[in-house]
């Protein structure tokens, strides 16, 4: 069964991504994406300088932070409008770091359940199109989005709309599990959240497999020595000690590769006070190390079946 990714069609008059004509200049696009000073008086860079990530403490109820952001960006009826969309169709969300298998498991489970898989990628593509960006300019749009807290919140609200009304059976993103918990606190039923994790050595090898080739992984794996206590970036850097051109090429990009998780962790803490790596809000945590995609899906499917129709 072919799984399609779905992006919500926003009907709110307050939507911040607006359609533009092909003639719109890059400068005009950038201006459209600039942060709203009334909503977010500081850019993320300024926020980082003023309030380092280490100064944030876990919120006892992070839902309040989500609500405040959505009310600011989408207007005073944002939460009420969201609740009007609620159905009781099954929703399974997948969270976790890069390379843990979120997309694979989300699409696989959606196929098994004969449903639809969703993710932030489809929403970003829709927002980019609305802002006049061409498909080949998605990367440029994503960079602008990362600088803009208002658009970031808009993206997460669109994700909530999809999940609230059951347009997707599964949804994967860094923040998916925490957004699912927010919906559950608001009264959305039949929600299951899954967090996927993986050992750093395996993450490094998966990157090699995805970006180079399965053959390169098979060649490099027996040569990669990484202690269990190593971090992801340390596992990537360890590839540089191997006498292999592909391994050294990946190691040279270690900071950029591992930095994606660090950047997202910092960004979401600044926006919502949420640590997306905090697994306490998830129903199921699965370590995917050493398991095949089929084994992981069987584990998740068994849990979902047991939790069917649980609020």
Reported as a single tens digit per residue, the pLDDT across 15-65 is 333 334 444 444 444 444 443 333 333 333 433 343 333 333 333 344 568
Q: How confident is the model at residue 213, as a pLDDT?
A: 96
Q: How confident is the model at residue 61, as a pLDDT?
A: 42
Residue matched to tokens 């591992």 = 258
Spatial neighbors of 156 by CB under 8 A, at least 6 apart, are 66, 69, 70, 175, 179
Q: What is the mean pLDDT of the chain?
A: 80
Lowest mean pLDDT among 50-54, 149-153, 186-190: 50-54
Q: How confident is the model at residue 85, as a pLDDT?
A: 97
Lowest mean pLDDT among 95-104, 236-245, 267-276: 267-276
| Mean pLDDT, rounded, for 167-172 | 96
Assigned token pair, 230: 């190593």
| Mean pLDDT, rounded, for 77-97 | 94
Spatial neighbors of 111 by CB under 8 A, at least 6 apart, are 1, 3, 117
**Cα separation values, 148 from 25, 82, 104, 224, Å:** 19, 23, 29, 39
Q: How confident is the model at residue 293, as a pLDDT?
A: 94
Give 271 or 86, the one with higher predicted confidence.
86
Give 28 or 98, the one with higher predicted confidence.
98
pTM: 0.76
CB 67 within 8 A of CB 4: no
| Mean pLDDT, rounded, for 180-194 | 94
Q: How confident is the model at residue 310, as a pLDDT?
A: 47
Give 102 or 271, the one with higher predicted confidence.
102
The crossing angle, in degrees rounded to 10, of helices 293-306 and 102-112 is 60
| Mean pLDDT, rounded, for 78-102 | 94
pLDDT tier at 135, thresholds 50, 70, 90? confident
Sheet harboring 191-197: ordered strands across?
A: 117-119, 170-172, 91-96, 191-197, 284-287
Query: CB burial class (10 A; 0-12, 13-18, 19+) of residue 157?
Result: buried
pLDDT tier at 105, thresholds 50, 70, 90? very high
Domain ranges of the chain: 26-196+289-306, 198-275
CB 230 within 8 A of CB 200: yes
Q: How confident is the model at residue 42, as a pLDDT?
A: 35
Closest CA to 233 of 252, 214, 217, 219: 252
CA distance 78 to 35: 19
CA distance 256 to 166: 35
Name the DSSP letter for residue 156.
Answer: H
Assigned token pair, 35: 């942060």
Give 69 or 61, the one with higher predicted confidence.
69
pLDDT tier at 265, thresholds 50, 70, 90? confident
Q: How confident is the model at residue 58, as a pLDDT?
A: 32
Give 151 or 204, the one with higher predicted confidence.
204
CA distance 32 to 26: 10
pLDDT tier at 151, thresholds 50, 70, 90? confident
Length of the chain: 311
| Mean pLDDT, rounded, for 141-160 | 85
| Mean pLDDT, rounded, for 161-178 | 94
Assigned token pair, 26: 């890059």
Percent of the chain whose predicted confidence (pLDDT) is above 70 = 78
CB 195 within 8 A of CB 285: yes
Q: What is the pLDDT of residues 282-304, one digit of tens each?
A: 999 999 999 999 999 999 999 99
Fold that domain 26-196+289-306 belongs to in CATH: Rossmann fold (3.40.50)
- Residue 243, pLDDT above cutoff 60: yes
CA distance 124 to 3: 18
């Amino acid at each position: 069964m072919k799984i399609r990714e779905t992006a919500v069609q926003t009907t709110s008059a307050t939507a911040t991504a607006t359609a533009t004509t092909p003639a719109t200049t890059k400068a005009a696009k950038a201006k459209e994406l600039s942060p709203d000073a009334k909503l977010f008086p500081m850019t993320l860079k300024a926020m980082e300088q003023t309030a380092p990530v280490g100064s944030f403490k876990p919120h006892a109820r992070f839902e309040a932070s989500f609500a405040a952001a959505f009310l600011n960006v989408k207007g005073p009826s944002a939460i009420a409008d969201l609740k009007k969309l609620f159905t009781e169709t099954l929703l399974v969300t997948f969270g976790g770091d890069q390379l843990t298998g979120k997309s694979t498991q989300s699409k696989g489970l959606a196929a098994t359940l004969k449903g639809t898989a969703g993710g932030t990628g489809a929403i970003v593509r829709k927002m980019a199109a609305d802002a006049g960006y061409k498909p080949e300019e998605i990367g440029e749009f994503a960079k602008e989005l990362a600088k803009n807290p208002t658009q970031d919140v808009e993206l997460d609200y669109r994700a909530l709309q999809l999940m609230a009304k059951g347009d997707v059976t599964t949804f994967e993103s860094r923040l998916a599990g925490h957004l699912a918990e927010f919906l559950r606190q608001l009264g959305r039923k039949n929600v299951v959240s899954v967090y996927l994790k993986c050992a750093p050595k395996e993450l490094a090898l998966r990157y090699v497999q995805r970006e180079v080739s399965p053959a390169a992984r098979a060649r490099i794996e027996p040569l990669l020595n990484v202690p269990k206590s190593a971090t992801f970036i340390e596992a990537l850097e360890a590839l540089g000690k191997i006498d292999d051109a592909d391994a050294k090429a990946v190691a040279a990009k270690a900071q950029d590769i591992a930095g994606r998780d660090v950047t997202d962790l910092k960004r979401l803490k600044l926006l919502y006070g949420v640590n997306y790596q905090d697994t306490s809000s998830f129903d199921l945590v699965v370590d995917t190390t050493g398991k095949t995609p089929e084994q992981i899906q069987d584990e998740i499917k068994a849990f979902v079946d047991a939790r069917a129709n649980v609020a």
